[in-house]
Structure 1
Amino acid sequence: MSPRLAAFVAFLLNGAVFGTWAARVPALAEQIGAEVGSLGLALLGASAGLAFTAPLAARYCAVHGSRGALIASSLLSPLLLPVLALSQSTVQFGLTLVALGASIAVMDVSMNIAAVVVVRALQRPLMPQFHAGFSVGGLIGSLGSAAAAQAHWTPMRHFLVAAFVGVLVTALIAKYIPGGVGERHREEVTERANVLKSPVLWLLACVALCSAIAEGAAADWSALFMVRERGMGDAAGAYAYAVFSVTMALARWFGEPIQRRLGPHRLLAAGGALAATGLALAVAVPFPVAGYAGFGLAGLGLAFSFPVVMDLASETGKRADGSGGERELGLVTTIAYTGFLAGPPIVGGLAHVSSLVLSLGFVALVTALIIPATWLARRAARPAASV
Structure 2
Amino acid sequence: MSNTNATNKQLHLSRNALFIIFALSGVALASWVARTPEVRDTLEASTAQMGWIIFGLALGSMAGLLSASRAIARVGARFVTVSSILCISAGTAAIGTGTYFSISLLVFAGLMVFGFGIGFLEVAINLEGAVLERAAHKTLLPALHASFSGGTLAGAGWSALMMALHISVTVHLFIISVVTAGVLLISYRYLPHGTGKEHLPRKKKETDPSTSSWTVWKEPRTLLIGLVVFGMAFAEGSANDWLPLAMVDGFNVQHITGSAMFTLFLTAMFLGRTAGGFFLDRFGRVPVLRTASLLAFSGLALVIFTGYLPIAACGVFLWGFGTSLGFPVGISAAGDESEGAVIRVSIVSIIGYTAFLVGPPILGLFGEFMGLLQAFVFVLIGIFLAGLASSSVKKST
Decide: shared fold, TM above 0.5: yes
Alignment-derived partner of residue 273 in structure 1 = 294
Matched, 1:243 2:264: yes
Offset of residue 81 of structure 1: 0.8
Matches within 5 A, 1:105-120: 105-120=119-134
**Where does residue 163 of structure 2 map in the other structure?**
149
Counterpart selection for 1:54 from 62, 65, 69: 65
How far apart in 2 are the matches of 1:171 and 1:181? 19
Which residues in structure 2 correspond to 1:186-201 (within 5 Å)? 186=200, 191=205, 192-194=211-213, 195-201=216-222
Aligned to 2:322: 301
The aligned residue for residue 37 of structure 2 is 26
Q: Which protein has greater RCO, CA pairs closer than 8 Å, 6+ apart?
A: 1
Shift of 1:183: 7.6
Structure 1 residue 325 corresponds to structure 2 residue 341: yes
| Pair 286,76 (structure 1): closer, same or farther in 2 beyond 3 Å | same
> Which residue does the alignment assign to 2:356?
340
Q: Which amino acid aligns with 1:265?
A: V
Q: Which residue of 2 aligns with 1:132?
A: 146
Pairwise CA distance, 1:18: 0.6
Range 192-201 or range 16-25, more displaced: 192-201
- The residue aligned with 1:229 is 250
Provide, for residues 314-343 of structure 1, a one-character-per-residue CA deviation record: whole Å limited to 9, x for no partner.
224x23xxxx52222221122211111123
Residue 31 of structure 1 and its aligned partner are, at CA, apart by 1.5
Q: How far apart are residue 190 of structure 1 and its match?
A: 6.3
Cα offsets for 1:244-292 (capped at 9, x unmatched): 1111111211221211122222222221111111111112121222222
Query: How far does residue 2 in structure 1 lie from its aligned partner after superposition?
Result: 1.4
Q: Higher mean Cα deviation, 38-47 or 15-24?
A: 38-47
Residue type at the aligned position of 1:102: F
Instruction: Measure the CA separation in 2 of the matches of 1:285 and 1:184.
Output: 53
Cα distance 1:190–1:287, how it changes in 2: closer, same or farther (>3 A)?
Answer: farther
User: Is the Cα–Cα contact under 8 Å of residues 38 and 90 in structure 1 kept in the other structure?
Assistant: no
Tell me how far apart the structure 1 counterparts of residues 318 and 161 of structure 2 sit (CA, whole Å): 24
Identical residues among aligned pairs (%): 28
2:228 is matched with which residue?
207
1:360 Cα deviation (Å)?
1.7
Residue 379 of structure 2, aligned match among 363, 375, 380: 363
Q: Give the partner amino acid of 1:67.
A: R
CA distance in 1 between counterparts of 2:381 and 2:332 reads: 25
In 2, Cα distance between the equivalents of 1:80 and 1:94? Answer: 10
Contact 1:59–1:327, Cα closer than 8 Å, also in 2: no
The reply on whether 1:68 has 2:84 as its aligned counterpart is: no
- The answer to whether the Cα contact below 8 Å between 1:55 and 1:330 also exists between their aligned partners in 2 is no
Q: CA deviation at 1:89?
A: 4.2
Letter in 1 for 2:379: V
Alignment check: 8 A CA contact 1:275 1:301 kept: yes
Instruction: Report how many aligned residue pairs link the two structures.
Output: 376
**Per the alignment, do residues 189 and 272 of structure 1 end up closer, same or farther by CA in structure 2, a change over 3 Å counting?**
farther
Separation in 1 of the partners of 2:256 and 2:19? 28
TM-score (norm 1): 0.91
Alpha-carbon distance in 1 for matches of 2:57, 2:373: 24
Q: Where does 1:89-108 land on structure 2 (aligned, <5 Å)?
A: 89-108=103-122
Give structure 2 stretches of 5+ with no counterpart: 1-11, 206-210
Does structure 1 conserve the Cα–Cα contact (< 8 Å) formed by 2:77 and 2:196? no
CA distance in 1, matches of 2:331, 2:112: 24
Structure 1 pair 190–107 and aligned structure 2 pair: CA distance change class (3 A): farther
RMSD after superposition = 2.1
Task: Provide Cα deviations, 1:291-314, integer angstroms capped at 9, x if missing partner.
Answer: 222111111101110000011112
How many angstroms apart in 1 are the aligned matches of 2:330 and 2:195? 23
Partner Cα distance (2:195, 2:162) in 1: 42
- CA-to-aligned-CA distance 1:38-73 (integer Å, 9 cap, x gap): 111221222222223213212222454311111221
1: CA distance, partners of 2:33 / 2:274: 23
- Dislocated runs of 4+, deviation >3 Å: 89-92, 181-190
Matched-pair contact (CA < 8 Å) for 1:315–1:325? yes
Q: In structure 2, what is the Cα distance between the partners aligned to 1:144 and 1:190?
A: 50
Q: Distance in 2 between the 1:201 and 1:64 partners? A: 26
In the TM superposition, residue 142 of structure 1 has moved relative to its aligned partner by 0.9
CA contact (8 A) 1:62 1:326 kept: no
Tell me the CA shift for residue 365 of structure 1: 2.6
